[in-house]
Amino acid sequence: MKKSIALTKLIFSLITLLLLTGCLGGIEINDLEIVTGMAVDKATDSESILLTAQIVKPSEMGKSSGGSGGGNKNAFWNVSYTGKSVFEATRQITYKTGNKLFLSHDEVVIFGKDIAEENIQKYIDFFLRENTMRPGTLVLVAEGRASDILDAGTEKEKLPAINAANLVKNYGFTSQLYEINLNDFAGRLISSTTSPIAPLIKVATDNGKKDVAVSGMAVFNKGKMAGTLNEAETRGLLWVLNKIKSGVITIPAPDGKGKVAFEIADAKSSVEPVIKGNKIFINIKVKQKAILSEQSTTENLENVQEFETLQKSLTEAIRHEIMTAYNKSKELNSDIFGFGDMLHRKYRKEWKTLENKWKDIYPQLILNIDVEAQIAGTDLLTRPAAPKKE
């Protein structure tokens, strides 16, 4: 929330500064339209795309309201135009705006599901080439139309594009999705083996109001969306990538009469590929500390025996998430972990013969998963709020 407010204030300050100075690098501010988000969908004409840009309304940014659902005027204007290419559409939009789009503060680029399934590679090219785009701009894939995401209002944000960006950037609360920017996506796209991924975003309806939600990841194979990872599969991926920040792991209580929920307090992982004979091993080591945050059983878990049982269950839960992610990646025939690139870096000579066969080799990898799970505390309680058992 603090990051969200800070980002909105930054944009407002920038607009104010530009209005006061009146120009930017020799370009008059009145000749620019500040963009905070862009969406790319297929147009009704199958040969064209529909580009939507979310443009800031400086006159509305300083007013107190909470997005399009607040009852006041929107602080943004969503303008769309079709074109044979993304670049053409950005220029054609000037027929409606009268001014050139200013992309340096674009927070997100959202691709519709139809674009992702066709081939995202030819549509992302413009954003990678454009010198006013920031490499840190986030890439998202909509479960439906990308333009719908920019239309969904939010109670706490004036700009839907900023809201979408913040939802992704705060992935660490659950570690069940991951932020991917243009630079990250391009790095995976140019790899001969590593599959690109991007967070999924969708429009959700709550009490008749449209809002957006993020969950899971889209997986690409040769530029085309091959499928998706659910929340558990995504976290399995992040364990391997060493990108876990926090989250909740819920496991059965030792007595089998309830559940125990742990918060991930710290997590570190490393991966080492090893070739032995004609087999390839992927050695994964995970060290994790967790806090016992909730239990639905009345059993007193504050003893060595119960802790050991819980730690074993945590270990198995983490191992299961990693294997679930790997098995899903095999179904999609997509190396989402980057194991191929890891082998390339360590075994450059051997890789020359492995690269062309990687599609067949990947499903045959042997994963050795070593998990060290430690319970580091129990928050404020040392035992449940229940009568002592006789």
Based on the domain organization, do 32 and 170 belong to the same domain?
A: yes
Among candidate residues 187, 205, 229, the one where a domain is terminated: 229
Q: What is the pLDDT of residues 27-86, one digit of tens each?
A: 555 668 899 999 999 998 878 999 999 999 877 666 655 444 444 578 889 999 999 999
Structure tokens at 137: 């701009």
CA torsion through residues 113, 129, 19, 1, sign: positive
Sequence-distant (6+) residues with CB within 8 A of 271 are: 240, 282, 283, 284, 285, 337, 339, 342
Q: What is the pLDDT of residues 170-207, one digit of tens each?
A: 999 999 999 999 999 999 999 999 999 999 999 988 77
Longest dimension (CA), the chain: 82
Is 222 part of any domain? yes
- pLDDT on residue 148: 95
- pLDDT on residue 69: 42
Instruction: Give the mean model confidence (pLDDT) for residues 369-381.
Output: 82
Based on the domain organization, do 47 and 195 belong to the same domain?
A: yes
Is 360 part of any domain? yes
- pLDDT on residue 388: 60
Q: Which residue has the tokens 């020799």?
A: 26
Q: Which residue has the tokens 């100075």?
A: 21
Among candidate residues 229, 244, 259, the one where a domain is terminated: 229
Based on the domain organization, do 200 and 243 belong to the same domain?
A: no
Let me know how long the chain is. 390
Instruction: Give the mean model confidence (pLDDT) for residues 360-384.
Output: 84
| Domain limits for position 264 | 234-377
Based on the domain organization, do 242 and 293 belong to the same domain?
A: yes
Instruction: Give the mean model confidence (pLDDT) for residues 253-267.
Output: 91
More confident residue, 260 or 3: 260
- pLDDT on residue 178: 94
Predicted structure pTM score: 0.87
Alpha helices in the chain (DSSP H): 2-21, 58-61, 86-92, 94-97, 113-119, 121-129, 146-151, 160-169, 182-189, 231-241, 304-331, 339-346, 348-354, 358-361
Query: What confidence category does residue 269 fall into, taking pLDDT thresholds of 50, 70 and 90?
Result: very high
Based on the domain organization, do 295 and 186 belong to the same domain?
A: no
Count: domains in the chain: 2
- pLDDT on residue 383: 55
Among candidate residues 229, 249, 271, the one where a domain is terminated: 229
- In angstroms, the CA 168 to CA 110 distance is 12
- pLDDT on residue 290: 94
